Structure 1
Amino acid sequence: MDGTTISRRGLLKLGGVTAVTAAAGAGAVTALPAVADDEAPPARFHLGSYTSAGGPGLARGHLDPATGALTVDAATAALPDPSWLAPSPAGSILYAVSERDDGTVSALTPDLAVLNTVPTGAGPAHVAVHPSGSFLFVSLYGGGAVVTHPIRADGTVGAATDMRRQGTEDQQSHAHQVVVDPLGAYVLAVDLGRDTVFTYTLDAQAGVLSEVGRTALAPGSGPRHLAFHPGGGFAYVAGELDSTITVCAWADGKLTPGQVVAAAPATGVRNYPGEIAVSPDGTHVYVSNRGTDTVGVFTIGRDGAKLKRVAAPACGGVWPRHLALDASGRRLYVANQRSGTVTWLPVTGGVPGAVAGSITVPGVAQILL
């Protein structure tokens, strides 16, 4: 939840490194040349960035399947500070939050045409789509709540049907992420302010969440993001404020905390984990370390119950806010917010190697593959 001021630059290419900025006016989509008709369509990606930090807003592009190199094809500043995106189950619609005090959530086509925008609440940090494609959930970092919006048949977003406030008089809520469990039965809200993960069920008729449990984590840990093991029996929670990962067993809608490991080696540098991800084969966990500017790499043992840190390679930028693996698990992409770069690292045996390339995207917040 932060933007960093970076000077604006024009849209350009320099020596094979693509730079993207908000040179286009708000609402415009600036496109680069299309791929030739006789070429196979490459894999696509989308980026979210802070326009208040000189970023382009939303961008789309493609990656080279042979080298992993990213090329941005178009960008739009139609939405202010679109820091997080999530796709519909079919991938035909994107949903983006505008991380402002008067926060909104919008529906867009994959080509970045805005379909509609509705209010959602103060400081939205994350959006998740229910597997049914009928609802989306927004976490309000500033508003201390989880908001439910219906998704209409045409993919546009409806007005909020529910708001679950998680704060108390004694402790302020900072809802940072919403995750739907692997079976689609529960909605989990990771609350950095409450050091708690809230668990809800969804009434799909009324569009309302009902709380069914809370999992308290270490006081002051500041849980930020959670990722499930593909086996479904464990989840891993990144603690932003105490630089840890907590392993939690998951069964019948209940998280049970277990092992706690340091997210980064002790270097004397204050570290704030950002994103956490699990490899598709369930053998490794990755966490972006803001402060040490590394990627924490952990092997997974005991069917998901144990983590062991095996590497901490440099991310190739400053303040890695988000990371993502490609579908093959052979490359790791890192969104470095303060250096305004997206880097990619080849992955061998689950461990990322040296940075293989980079593009410039001021204020970048997320890469969606």
Structure 2
Amino acid sequence: MKFAIFGIVAALSTSFATASTLYAASYGGSLYSLAFNKANGSLSTLEKSQDCGTSPSWLMLDQPHGILYCLNEAIDTANGSITSFQAFANGSLDTIEKLTTPAGLVMSAIYTAAGVKDSGFFAVAHYETSTVTTYAVDRAKGEFQNLQTFTFEMSHPGPNTTRQDAPHPHGVFVDPTGKFVLVPDLGTDLVRIFAIDPSTGYLEPVEPYHATPGSGPRHLTFWTPKTYNATTSDVYMFLVHELTNVVSGFRVGYTNGGMSFDRFFHGTSYGNYTAPSSSKVAEIKVSPDNNRLVISNRLDNTFGSNNDSIAIFDIADKNGERFTGVRFVGLYPAFGSSVRHFDIGGCPQELAVSLENSQKVGVIQWNMRNGEPGRLLAELTLDGDVPAAIWAK
């Protein structure tokens, strides 16, 4: 097993080339706009807003329109909320609209409908209230309204009775064709699938994918060649299961208004080695070069006390144009505890990590030549647990 220890851009003063903007959510009740300056290795606060709510949990940036959406999970309260902000290049945030929702919001994604012009939509997963909601949005203005509410039930608990006591939608993802929305449900061991009505933007449930009982699907990502278009058959999906620390890979097919999944890979997020009993896999994404899977492992302490890991897998040739199978590369330090979410971006590209239990945002070097994380460049402690951090670009 290989362990490698090092292995909207803002024009801030005159350091345009080395400064980037980050947004971070804190369970302390704050939404942060942060400036990362690579030249001096600093991460500092540009603005701090309490307009998101008591438990900011997820951030969604509509970059072409400069609109930031903040989800309020509303832990231990009856209702959650979604707030939209105008995000300016200098890091400032102006509140646009706030809408009350069911509690438990943990992730969202924007989607479109081919027959609906000059508008857009987004869907939200509500973990605690077993719900998925959808919204119509004026993307230029950041104004939105509720369209649909799906509330799910189950007849009995799943194999993990503590975590699978009810349906728990945990993520929202749009497939590469733009015709389907997928929602991993940790409580029911399903990936719920919704077809997008092209004339209205409404979602229609279709046959879900049934994961291994007790595995707890959490997040997923798709891989397609860089040359992919909607007529290309090369679509692959990778799914992480929180309760078993398993990563599954599938060849995706499309038939009769739904999706099919042919599984070809099934192993742990530790390269088929046994995962530590305390570990919980969290996030999965494809690297900027389109040739590697990047996966975060929480609470494993692989690199010492309160220093969890990031796993890297090869999946394609170095040009990201041909799928070559799944090969474990190694584990790299996250430089904090419970790396719940990460994002690769900035200028140049770096890895931003939300270190939930450490109550920090970290910026880690991303080696574009090798496709691996490197040393810690900067970190900043916020006012509570940190569930999400994203780059403005």
Normalising by the smaller structure, the TM-score range is: 0.7 to 0.9
Q: 1:173 aligns with which of 167, 173, 187?
A: 167
Alignment of 1:260 with 2:266, yes or no, is yes
Shift of 1:334: 1.4
What one-letter code is carried by the residue in structure 2 that aligns with 1:104?
A: S
Q: Distance in 2 between matches of 1:291 and 1:356?
A: 22
Question: In 2 relative to 1, CA 249–60 (structure 1 residues): closer, same or farther, beyond 3 Å?
Answer: same
Q: 2:83 aligns with which of 106, 109, 120?
A: 106
Could you tell me whether the CA contact under 8 Å between 1:120 and 1:138 is conserved in 2? Answer: no
Amino acid at match of 1:288: S
Counting only pairs closer than 5 Å after superposition, residues 49-198 of structure 1 correspond to structure 2 as 49-51=26-28, 57-64=30-37, 66=39, 69-79=42-52, 80-88=54-62, 90-100=64-74, 101-110=78-87, 111-131=92-112, 134-152=120-138, 154-171=140-157, 172-198=166-192
Alpha-carbon contact 2:65-2:139 (below 8 Å) kept: no
Residue in structure 2 matched with residue 4 of structure 1 by the alignment:
none
The counterpart of 1:300, out of the listed 315, 320, 330, is 315
| Structure 2 residue matching 1:266: 3-state secondary structure | coil
- Name the CA shift for 1:262/1:91 in 2 (closer, same or farther; >3 Å): farther
Question: Which of structure 1's runs of 4+ aligned residues deviate more than 6 A?
Answer: none
Q: Which residue of 2 aligns with 1:14?
A: none
List per-residue Cα deviations over 1:11-42 (Å, max 9, x = no partner).
xxxxxxxxxxxxxxxxxxxxxxx933x55374
Q: Deviations over 1:104-157 (max 9, x none)?
A: 112111132221111221211111111565111110101212111110365334
User: Between Structure 1 and Structure 2, how many residues are aligned?
Assistant: 331
- Output one character per residue of 1:50-91: Cα deviation in whole Å (capped at 9) or x when no partner: 12xxxx511112323557753321111222211101112514
TM-fit CA distance, 1:259? 0.8
**Amino acid across the alignment from 2:34:** G
**Structure 1, unaligned stretches of length 5 or more?**
1-33
> Which residue, 226, 244, 253 being the options, matches 1:242?
244
* Counterpart Cα distance in 2 of 1:301 and 1:93: 33
> What are the equivalent positions in structure 2 for 1:206-217 lying under 5 Å apart?
206-217=200-211
Identity, in percent, stands at 24
1:322 aligns with 2:346: no
The partner residue of 1:355 within 376, 379, 392 is 376
SS at match of 2:25: strand
Distance 1:263 1:103 in 2: 32
Give the Cα separation in 2 of the matches to 1:289 and 1:352.
Answer: 14
Name stretches of at least 5 consecutive residues in structure 2 with no aligned partner: 1-10, 114-118, 158-165, 226-233, 301-307
Task: Give the alignment's Cα RMSD to 1 decimal.
Answer: 2.4
Report which stretch shifted further, 295-304 or 98-107. 295-304
TM (norm. structure 2) is 0.77
**Is the 8 Å Cα contact of residues 172 and 183 (structure 2) preserved in structure 1?**
yes
Higher mean C-alpha displacement, 295-304 vs 114-123: 295-304
What is the aligned partner in structure 1 of residue 303 from structure 2? none
Q: Distance in 1 between matches of 2:275 and 2:219?
A: 23
CA contact (8 A) 2:24 2:361 kept: no
